[in-house]
Amino acid sequence: MPSLQRCLLTAIAAALLATAASHRRALAAEPGALVIIVDGSGSMWGTIEGARQTKLVLAREGLRRSLDRLPAQTRVGLALFGHRRGDCQDVEVVRPPEPLDPGRVIGPLEHLNPRGRGPITLAVREAAKAFPRDAGRRTLLLIHDDADNCQPDLCAAAAELRAAGITAHVVGLNVKPDDMAKMACLPQTTGGRHFNAHNAEQVAGLIEEALLLAAPERDGLERAISAPPSAIVPPPPIPASGPPALHLRALLAPNAEPLGLPLFWTVAAEERPEVALFAGPSVNPTVPVASGRYVVEARHGAVSARQTVEVRDNRPMAVALMLNAGLLRARALARKTASPMPDAVITATDAGGALLLATKSGEASALMPAGRYVVRAEAGLVRAEQSITIAAGRSMAVDLSLNAARLQLTTAGRDGAAQLQAPTFSVLEDDPDAPGGRREVARSGAQPAEFVLPPGTYYAVARQGTVETRERLAVGPGDVVKRTLTVAPGSLALATRAPAGAAPPGAHISYTVSRIDGAPQEAVTISQPSPTLLLPSGRYRVEGRYGLMNVRTVRDIEVKTGQTQQLVIEHEAASLRLRMAGTATTDVSWVIRDQAGRAVWTGAQPEAVAILLAGRYLVRAETRTKRDERSVELRAGEARLLEFSVD
């Protein structure tokens, strides 16, 4: 064997073996699982630039095109949201992760009827619950066209996923920049990728790229490489006589030696191509056959070759498939240290933009069809790319240098204040065209949070509710900057004493807290009976409400750093029990009006309880045959019975 070819095959064997070993270490002993989450909110009926098809159809067809590229053993599930009732609880796990069946994944999307709101955070949490306990690598793929408009904390959910070892990739369908920023912490916190298709042509390609990254195994063949392959050992000679059989070989280029690597081979009779006589990974396999015509195919990742052969004599037959391929070895290196960056994503696309390689690793090796490619490496906000040409039978090494810095953020309390329990971290940079002169470039809900950024000056922000702290800092090439952002909030513990005769507080209590000194801040509204809020020190106005009518009380309080202020709201309210007596009491309506004539309470039960602020009211009872009105004066803390009769 020529020495150059021997060296090349040795390099291919070593590179693919290293890649396979890396994948095996990354995978758990059990197979992994993937759950695809598809937006079913009403906005998915819309279109994007370059297509008359709806966003739903583009997403569905992109999945249809890409699912077949996943290994058959991949466990794939499907979750939908906003497609049935259209409310903020409308989430359905349609299919738990099961062995890949593209028809069963696509089927529910054929009949999807987008309706209302988009509870993305709830969908992410419910999809995460669908993973089997024995799953190894677990990945979510979210396809959506808007941010969560049900107002939960997506960054908190992202932190939960990260703690559970779940990665989330996100494909946006022409998502607005502000909404992209709101979604950023989901992939960034979990170690996933964030894509946004700006036009129809990009949708299918980005979905395919995300699926390849999300697939628990990029190629099942890699698991078969468990020992150094016989790349430099010639295959056994083909016997001159013996039983009829196909002796299969694969060549990278004309006149090359057979490739001693496990490829996935299939052999089928030409008249029945759907029935495989042989299918599986093997190195130079031998397949017994009878006389006839056969279709032989070999593939490895993006490389494949097919040939039709005819067996005429009852003797062995050699079949050499020309792969017309070379080896790509790509590395994503930190510019300062020249060391691989294991959290980088390496991709390779051909001249037409089709994705042939996608892997999250500092080093990647793959057989590639001969041709021109763009190889890219991306880590966080740092990217690099290079155009290359791969020749058949040759090896091409590409080192992509990433001028990256790392910023690690945590929080701590100051002056006795409590640390933020679930902060959202943001990184901003100066932008004269953005509102306020700064724009957000990254967000994370992890604690601590890590960002990969180009060298420069940034503003690091930690926020929880209305508590916020920020710091201006600089990061240089190769730097790992660890910064603790200190906060000095106080705590406000709220509670409500139920009015006399009222039911237990339950979900009928709400509070609105607004700042009344210093810089104006957005008011906080919360519907919990006894919440504790972290707030910057200062004076606040608290409006407490009980029920859905006119029971409302306002109190002012000062919150001090490091202290917990207790505020128990006691409403000046009374309980008014209304009763309709008589023989026909099932059809009755009540209306209670205040002194200004406003209706403050209505009901339609023979006996009901109204919780009202103390004061004077006019109560009207009406049945089909009778109407009656009475005035009543209610005092704070009073429980009054007012009885009417239809007789």
d(CA 490, CA 470) in angstroms, rounded, equals 17
Which band of pLDDT confidence, cut at 50, 70 and 90, is reported for residue 387? very high
In the prediction, which pLDDT does 217 show? 46
In the prediction, which pLDDT does 585 show? 58
Task: Say whether the peptide bond before residue 285 is cis (omega within 30 degrees of 0).
Answer: no
Q: Which fold has domain 573-645?
A: Immunoglobulin-like (2.60.40)
In the prediction, which pLDDT does 502 show? 61
pTM attached to this predicted model: 0.68
Q: List the Cα angle 155/158/164 in 5-degree steps.
A: 150
In the prediction, which pLDDT does 4 show? 46
Q: Which fold has domain 28-216?
A: Rossmann fold (3.40.50)
- pLDDT, mean of residues 287-298: 92
In the prediction, which pLDDT does 647 show? 65
- pLDDT, mean of residues 539-547: 91
- pLDDT, mean of residues 279-304: 88
- Boundaries of CATH 2.60.40.1120 in the chain? 405-487, 489-570
Asked if residue 245 has pLDDT above 70, the reply is yes
Residue of 586 and 157 predicted with greater confidence: 157
CA 25, distance to chain mean position in Å, is 24
325-402 is classed CATH 2.60.40.10:
yes
Q: Which fold has domain 3-10+225-322?
A: Immunoglobulin-like (2.60.40)
Q: Which fold has domain 489-570?
A: Immunoglobulin-like (2.60.40)
- pLDDT, mean of residues 542-568: 90
Residue with token string 């996943």: 70
Q: Give tens-digit pLDDT for 165-207.
A: 899 999 999 888 878 878 888 988 888 888 888 888 889 888 9
Residue 299 Cα distances to 249, 261, 280, 336, 497, angstroms? 12, 11, 10, 38, 72
Which band of pLDDT confidence, cut at 50, 70 and 90, is reported for residue 246? very high
- Boundaries of CATH 2.60.40.10 in the chain? 3-10+225-322, 325-402, 573-645
Instruction: Say if CB 194 and CB 183 are below 8 A apart.
Output: yes
Asked if residue 541 has pLDDT above 90, the reply is yes
- Boundaries of CATH 3.40.50.410 in the chain? 28-216
Return the C-alpha torsion angle 431, 437, 440, 445, nearest 10: 150
* CA atoms within 13 Å, Cβ hemisphere of 397: 6
Secondary structure (DSSP) of 561-614: TT-EEEEEEE--EEEEEEEEESS--SSEEEEEE-TTS-EEEEE-SSEEEEEEES
Q: Give tens-digit pLDDT for 468-503.
A: 899 999 999 999 999 999 988 889 999 998 776 565
Q: Which fold has domain 405-487?
A: Immunoglobulin-like (2.60.40)
The number of helix segments (H) and strand segments (E) in the chain equals: 8, 41
